[in-house]
Amino acid sequence: MEKKRLIYNILAPIAGCVVFIAVWFAVAAAIGKSIILPSPADTLISFFDLLGQGGFYLAVLKTLGRTLLSFIIAFILACLLAFCSVKSEFFKKAFAPLAVIVRVLPTISVILLVLIWFKSAVAPYVITFIVIFPMLYTTVLDAAENVDPNLIEMCEAYKVSKGRQLLYLYIPDMIPSVLTGISITLSFSVKLTIAAEVLASTQRSMGRYMSQASAYIETSTLLAWTLAAIILGFLLEGLVLLLKKLLARHYHAN
């Protein structure tokens, strides 16, 4: 059993990465022009070069800050509006068309409109917020609506206060699905913020550095920044999943 787990959880992902890197090496060697496709080794060298530059850390921190701030604002608002929707069927129906419109709005339209309406320093926040807000709203609303109605009925029958219901029933019940949604949305937010930074040419941002690398056809640097973005998204997703595990243990979920 332990051996099977080792194969599935550790060896299989490693094998997948090895195959991917081998194919990358082979294709880069076949093309033979690092300006078009640098090898994984060239990319790693560029990545370590970036790690030695002070601007790298500032750009990563600034991008991370923009991502988290937009995300937190979107999440708080999503929770408030989902709460209103749970409490009032009228509000839910009234808000539904707006939520759907924002959800199906093409991301590129959002980006282009926001670039017209807002300054480049603000644009990444607004773009990330607009795109992820409906995703978070749907996640929180679904989780709240899936709380066991029998337990809600029991709480109503025993006149359990709303505060206690929220603390001991709603929050623990909603945590697994909301955190799964958050882990997906958060790594998506990193991608979105960087895309917005590229198009808005935001100062001191990962997107701006990537845009410059692309303009000067420094493909290995561009890939190194991409690697940094992947690591950032991966770390955020991992942290949320770790939090989910810890909270599941805390609440003794069966």
Written as one letter, the residue type at 116 is I
Of the candidates 59, 60, 173, 200, which has an alpha carbon nearest to the alpha carbon of residue 117? Answer: 200
**Residue 156 makes contact with other proteins by CB under 8 A:** yes
Q: What stretch of H or E contains 115? A: helix 107-117
CA 194 from centre of chain: 11
Nearer to other proteins, 9 or 150 (CB): 150
Decide: 133 and 123 in contact? Cβ < 8 Å. Answer: no
Region from 19-27, 101-109, 126-134, 147-155 binding other proteins, contact rule CB under 8 A: 147-155
Instruction: For the CB of residue 120, give the shortest distance to other proteins in the complex, in Å.
Output: 46
- Half-sphere exposure in the Cβ direction for 140 (13 Å, CA): 23
**Residue placing its CB nearer to other proteins in the complex, 56 or 170:** 170
Does 160 participate in binding other proteins (rule CB under 8 A)? yes
Is position 109 an interface residue for other proteins (rule: CB under 8 A)?
no
Q: Rank residues 102 and 151 by Cβ distance to other proteins and give the closer one.
A: 151
List the interface residues with other proteins, window 171-210 (CB under 8 A).
Answer: 172-173
Nearer to other proteins, 68 or 147 (CB): 147
Q: Quick check: 202 and 120 in contact, CB under 8 A?
A: yes
Tell me, by CB under 8 A, how many residues bind other proteins.
18
Chain residues 41-80 in contact with other proteins, contact rule CB under 8 A: none
CA torsion sign for 177, 183, 189, 191 is negative
Cβ-proximal residues to 10 (8 Å cutoff; 6+ apart), any chain: none
Say whether residue 243 binds other proteins (CB under 8 A): no
- Measured from the CB atom, is 96 or 154 closer to other proteins? 154
Distance of closest approach, residue 174 Cβ to other proteins, in angstroms: 11
Residue 126, amino acid: V
Q: Which is nearer to other proteins, 125 or 170 (CB)?
A: 170
Angle between helix axes 54-87 and 171-200 (nearest 10 degrees) is: 130
**Binder of other proteins out of 122, 168, 184, 226 (CB under 8 A):** 168
